Homo-oligomer: A and B are copies of this chain.
Amino acid sequence: MTDILQIVLAKRPAGDVTADCFREETASLPALAEGQILVQSRFLSLDPYMRPRMTELASYTPPFELGKPLTAGSVGEVVETRNPRYAKGDTVIGMLNWATHTVHDGKGLRKIDPALAPLSAHLGVLGMPSFTAWYGIKHICKPKAGETAFVSAATGAVGQVAGQLAKLAGAQVVGCAGDDEKCAWAVREAGYDACFNHRSESDPGAALDRLCPKGIDSDFENVGGKIFHAVFARLNNFGRVAFCGAISEYQDKEPMAGPPKMFAIVQRRLTLQGFIVSDHAPLMGEFAAEVGGLLKSGKLKSRETVIDGLAKAPQAFMGLLRGENFGKLVVKVS
């Protein structure tokens, strides 16, 4: 028997996620069955997509179960094993519980080399958010020299990589973020040509008119809502939208409608494509080679926020939904 700490979904949110949606529990784990491993979590990734999973809305992943631990992309260490594929001490990445320890059958986990990079990087600039950015930029947005590429949530875990990849492709890159410090970082460190603060500039259309005078050729969409509507209205002929997320809408009770003048999709021959990176797992090797190379050569910057302690995960997640994190948000579990 192992006593562990875990955080379960106590209640589904209606509107804003509140602290009482979570409950911290101590649990006793039974002895491992044949084929199982016990993984001690090191880092846990908090990502916007978790919000839709807290409700019963049909989403691309099944909803979290009430009364059960939430799950998250995590890096951990195998501390006990009855599975011949895993040795004690292996470092693994995959979906683990919001918990100090997870009993797992090993399926869907992947061993990583802890010497390669800081463990948390595997959840960010070397991991799923970065892969998401890479896929959307490379396969949907396809920015190029002479074009203007827009990235909403410009300094988020996904956006910061998307913006830098668009810049490396030669485009003029414009973003928006939730405070002046993030906008300054986007321009100074991530190479954005411009970034506006969507909280202090209440009319995103005016900001876009100022910063994207030649219109927008591609949009890496992380925010949705009125920012997306303003971008859509300014897409050039043959514009592309990689629709990755809509964090501005996740806490709304009423789902956000599409853009007010939908027929522009024909008039301007637009392509809007929603995607989920897990569908493209076969491209992971190509991504890792390309983005790993950029990291090694110093061409890709990244920024993360590390929260210390599992117990702080709910507050950190609520902050993420309000845009309070800066860059990739991870929780150091142990």
Contact = CB atoms under 8 A, between A and B. Distances in A.
Interface stretch (A24-32, A145-153, A267-275, A291-299): A267-275
Contacts of A265: 243, 272-274
A117 interface: no
A263 B262 CA distance: 15
A244 interface: yes
A73 interface: no
A176 to B, nearest CB: 18
A259 interface: yes
A246 interface: yes
A115 interface: no
A245 B269 CA distance: 11
B266 A255 contact: no
A262 B271 contact: no
Given A255-B263, A257-B260, A265-B243, A271 B273 contact: yes
A52 B246 CA distance: 32
Interface string A264-304: 11111111111110010000000000000000000000000
Interface of A: 52, 58-60, 224, 228, 243-246, 249, 255-276, 279
Given A59-B267, A256-B261, 8 more contacts: A52-B267, A224-B263, A255-B261, A255-B263, A256-B263, A258-B262, A269-B274, A271-B272
